[in-house]
């Protein structure tokens, strides 16, 4: 039984996530880590997924790829990945209901995933070349020569010498190991790469190099990159569009320039204003008061209301829907109740 398939005449959309809910069964009830996420990813863009610890972004990233492990499970929702069949149409299939064999085909070949701490899971007893080649053989039918050629191509693209192939992971520095994981990820020319905090453990200098390389590779190869990190400055450097996640939901989604210049959601505003800037005004900053809520017990209505400086009565009762309030800018906040299209949709509590 193959997954549900739909056709689109718009080839710009690469992925559509609709009302995705990923929950964890715990002894204290269900932890609703991802609780109704709606996202659209466009082809060839660098989409930044921002948010702080506990907001659900890693769960989301892993969930789309079918990597959710017990006690986590998909409660509902779809993650539809579209592949181009012609210049004007694409065919989409739901990754969440795909049979495992098809999903494995998808992974690596179409969607590559660089998990958090990827450089630490390189097998310490295998040479680099074998690790990359194994990934290539596993997910494609390239011949040995083709695979080797491809591997060297990728190593060069990430700025590593061909001699690295014969080395073991412990002989490389953190930055080099991370580049190896990136090389492995692009080896099969995927359409989408999802990277989860790839530079968190690296030095600032190394981070700069890797970010610049990732950006070049993404633009150069025409692939789409979903970059997950809590570091807003990194998003400012490389993202085209930004999705801000809070308490398992996307609260704002907009082009990165707009997000920084005029953030709409009070959480985004708080987030951006709590980043210390070198050379900026040094008056005391306040950050966002209160604590991040727990997925076992999300606040009622709008989840941000207990910490929001502009909370109103309605915020406590009803969850604001995600509305497009300006071209390309979506926000889920009662301060912006009117969508571009005019009609306000029914609210859910």
Partner 1 sequence: MLSFLRSCWHTSGKFKFGVIILAIFVLMAVAAPLVYRPIIGDLSPSRPGVFMRWLPMTAEHPLGTDGHGRDLLTDYLAGLRTTLYIGFLAGMIASSVGILVGFLSAYKGGWVDAVLLTFTNMLIVIPQYPILVAIAMVTPELGVASMAVILAFFSWAYSARTIRAQVMTMKERPYVELARVSGQNDWAIIFTEILPNLTPYLLMGFAFSVVGAMVAEVGIEALGLGPSNIITLGLMINFANGWGVYSMKRLEILLIPVGALVLIFMAITMINRGMEEYLNPRLQKVTTEK
Partner 2 sequence: MTNLNDNPVVLDVRNVSKIFNIPTPGFEREYIAAVDQVSLALYEKPARIVSLVGESGSGKTTLARIMLGLTPLTHGEMLYRGKHIAKLTKSEWWDFRRNVQPIFQDPFGIYNPFYRVDRALDMTIKNFHLASSPEEVMALKAEALRAVDLRPDDVIGRYPHQLSGGQCQRVMLARTLLLRPKIIIADEPVSMIDVAVRMLFLNILLDFRDKYDISSLMITHDLATAYYMGGPMLVLCFGRIVESGDIEQLLDKPSHPYTRQLLAAIPFPDPARRWEGRANVKITDRPLTHEGNKCVYVARCPQAMDICSKQRPPDYLVEEGHYVACFLHRDKPVIDSTQKA
Cα-Cα-Cα-Cα dihedral sign, residues 162, 165, 169, 170? negative
Tell me whether residue 54 or residue 270 sits nearer to partner 1 (CB atom): 54
**181 to 220: interface string for partner 2, x by CB under 8 A:** --------------------x-xxxxxxx-xx--------
Using a 10 angstrom Cβ sphere, with 0-12 exposed, 13-18 middle and 19 or more buried, the burial of residue 114 is buried
CA nearest neighbour of 306 among 288, 320, 323, 321: 288
Write down the least CB distance from residue 83 to partner 1, Å: 31
Interaction between residue 27 and partner 1 (CB under 8 A): yes
Interaction between residue 92 and partner 2 (CB under 8 A): no
Give the side-chain half-sphere CA count within 13 A for 221. Answer: 23
256 binds, among partner 2, partner 1, none (CB under 5 to 8 A by kind): partner 2
Using a 10 angstrom Cβ sphere, with 0-12 exposed, 13-18 middle and 19 or more buried, the burial of residue 335 is middle
For partner 2, which residue of 60, 271, 323, 330 counts as binding (CB under 8 A)? 271
Write down the least CB distance from residue 201 to partner 1, Å: 12
Interaction between residue 248 and partner 2 (CB under 8 A): no
Q: Candidates 42-50, 52-60, 73-81, 99-107 — which segment interacts with partner 1 by CB under 8 A?
A: 52-60
User: Please, are residues 292 and 212 in contact by the beta-carbon 8 Å criterion?
Assistant: no
For partner 2, which residue of 27, 70, 86, 276 counts as binding (CB under 8 A)? 276
Q: Candidates 51-59, 96-104, 169-177, 309-317 — which segment interacts with partner 1 by CB under 8 A?
A: 51-59
For residues 50, 53, 57, 59, the Cα torsion angle rounded to the nearest 10 degrees is: 170
Q: How far apart are CA 245 and CA 41, in angstroms?
A: 15
58 binds, among partner 2, partner 1, none (CB under 5 to 8 A by kind): partner 1
Residues 277-297 as b or e (16 or more Cβ within 10 Å = b) = eeeeeeeeeeebeeeebebee
User: Please, are residues 151 and 145 in contact by the beta-carbon 8 Å criterion?
Assistant: no
Beta bridge partners of 114: 195
CA distance to 40, 320, 325, per residue, from 336 (Å): 20, 9, 7
Interaction between residue 311 and partner 2 (CB under 8 A): no
Write down the least CB distance from residue 246 to partner 2, Å: 10
User: Please, are residues 171 and 161 in contact by the beta-carbon 8 Å criterion?
Assistant: no
27 binds, among partner 1, partner 2, none (CB under 5 to 8 A by kind): partner 1
Cα-Cα-Cα-Cα dihedral sign, residues 109, 83, 35, 71? negative
How would you list the strands of the sheet with 72-84, edge to edge?
5-8, 90-94, 72-84, 13-26, 29-42
Write down the least CB distance from residue 48 to partner 1, Å: 18
234 binds, among partner 1, partner 2, none (CB under 5 to 8 A by kind): partner 2
Tell me whether residue 58 or residue 178 sits nearer to partner 1 (CB atom): 58
Interaction between residue 7 and partner 2 (CB under 8 A): no
**202 to 241: interface string for partner 1, x by CB under 8 A:** ----------------------------x-----------
**67 to 106: interface string for partner 1, x by CB under 8 A:** ----x-----------------------------------
Q: Which residues bind partner 2 (CB under 8 A)?
A: 52-53, 173, 175-176, 201, 203-209, 211-212, 230-234, 236-237, 239, 256-257, 260-261, 270-272, 274-280, 282, 284-289, 291-292
Contact positions toward partner 1, by CB under 8 A? 27, 53-54, 58, 71, 230
């Amino acid at each position: 039984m193959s997954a549900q398939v739909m056709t689109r005449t718009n080839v710009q959309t690469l992925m559509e996530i609709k009302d995705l809910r990923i929950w964890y069964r715990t002894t204290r009830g269900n932890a609703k880590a991802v609780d109704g996420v709606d996202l659209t990813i466009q082809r060839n863009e660098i989409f930044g997924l921002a948010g702080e610890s506990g907001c659900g972004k890693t769960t989301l990233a892993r969930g789309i790829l079918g990597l959710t492990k017990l006690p986590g499970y998909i409660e509902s929702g779809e993650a539809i990945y579209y592949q181009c069949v012609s210049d004007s149409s694409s065919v989409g299939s739901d990754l969440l209901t795909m049979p495992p064999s098809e999903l494995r085909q998808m992974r690596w070949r179409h969607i590559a995933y660089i998990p958090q701490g990827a450089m630490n899971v390189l097998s310490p007893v295998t040479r680099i070349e074998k690790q990359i080649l194994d990934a290539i053989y596993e997910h494609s039918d390239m011949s040995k020569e083709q695979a080797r050629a491809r591997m060297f191509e990728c190593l060069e693209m990430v700025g590593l010498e061909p001699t690295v192939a014969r080395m073991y992971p412990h002989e490389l520095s953190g930055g080099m190991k991370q580049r190896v994981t990136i090389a492995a990820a692009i080896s099969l020319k995927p359409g989408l790469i999802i990277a989860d905090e790839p530079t968190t453990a690296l030095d600032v200098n190394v981070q700069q190099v890797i970010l610049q390389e990732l950006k070049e590779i993404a633009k150069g190869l025409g692939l789409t990159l979903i970059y997950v990190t809590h570091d807003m400055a990194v998003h400012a450097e490389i993202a085209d569009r930004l999705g801000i996640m809070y308490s398992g939901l996307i609260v704002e989604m907009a082009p990165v320039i707009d997000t920084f210049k005029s953030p709409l959601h009070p959480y985004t505003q708080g987030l951006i204003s709590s980043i210390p800037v070198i050379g900026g005004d040094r008056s005391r900053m306040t950050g966002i008061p209160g604590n991040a809520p727990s997925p076992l017990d999300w606040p009622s209505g709008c989840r941000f209301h207990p910490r929001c400086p502009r909370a109103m009565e309605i915020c406590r009762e009803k969850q604001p829907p995600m509305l497009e309030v300006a071209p390309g800018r979506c926000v889920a906040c009662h301060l912006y109740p009117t969508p571009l299209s005019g009609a306000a949709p029914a609210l859910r509590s």
